[in-house]
Amino acid sequence: MLAILRPSDWEWPLLIHLVGAFVLVGALVAAVSATALAWAADAPAAWRLRRLAFRTLLFAALPSFIAFRVAAEWLYSKEEGKLWAKGEDPDWLGIGYIVSDAGLLLLVVLLVLSGLGARRKTLEGGSRLGTWVLALSSIYIVALAIAWWAMTAKPT
């Protein structure tokens, strides 16, 4: 029902927000996949896969996070006071902010860990860091799925 009420000048920030969020999820899935494949690979291939995971996080996940977060604030500034009372944000918006704020911290940690893992050409040092990258990326993907559900279902 809210989509019917949304003015047409909000379409661009919503498109940027959604594309940024989808690219972020795709980049995280690619980083998780590369990190998981690095476990089964030999040392040179594992190093290349860890480097791929780092570059995916750096060049795809970080810019898409920035785009989706800026567009979210742009949308919030347009919607505040129009669809709900000022100071009374809906629950789904709070869930989105919690996941987004915690997600920035997780993304920075993932960049540091995957960058350190990409610098180590040995299998032992990189695989321990890869375990952390795999676990934290998976947690972040689940958190984004919860936020996605909250944004679409709009629970009270």
The DSSP element (H or E) to which 153 belongs, if any, is helix 123-153
Tokens 């999820």, residue located = 25
pLDDT at 59: 98
Q: Where are the domains of the chain?
A: 12-153
State the average pLDDT over residues 48-58. 94
Residue with more model confidence, 21 or 92: 21
Tokens 């934290």, residue located = 136
Mean pLDDT is lowest, of 16-20, 54-58, 88-92, 126-130, for: 126-130
Residue range 139-156, pLDDT digits in tens = 999 999 999 999 888 876
Reported confidence tier of residue 39, pLDDT bands at 50, 70, 90? confident
**How far does CA 136 lie from the centroid of its chain?**
11
Tokens 């480097």, residue located = 51
pLDDT at 7: 63
Q: Which runs of consecutive H residues, i.e. helices, occur in 41-122?
A: 43-56, 62-79, 91-119
Distance in angstroms (rounded) separating the CA atoms of residues 71 and 19: 10
Residue range 100-135, pLDDT digits in tens = 999 999 999 999 999 988 887 665 656 678 889 999
Count Cβ neighbours within 10 Å for each residue of 36-57 and write b for 16 or more, e otherwise.
bbbeeeeeeebbebbbbbbbbb
Residue with more model confidence, 7 or 118: 118
Q: Are 140 and 27 in contact (CB under 8 A)?
A: no
Distance in angstroms (rounded) separating the CA atoms of residues 80 and 67: 20
pLDDT at 121: 67
Q: What is this structure's pTM?
A: 0.86
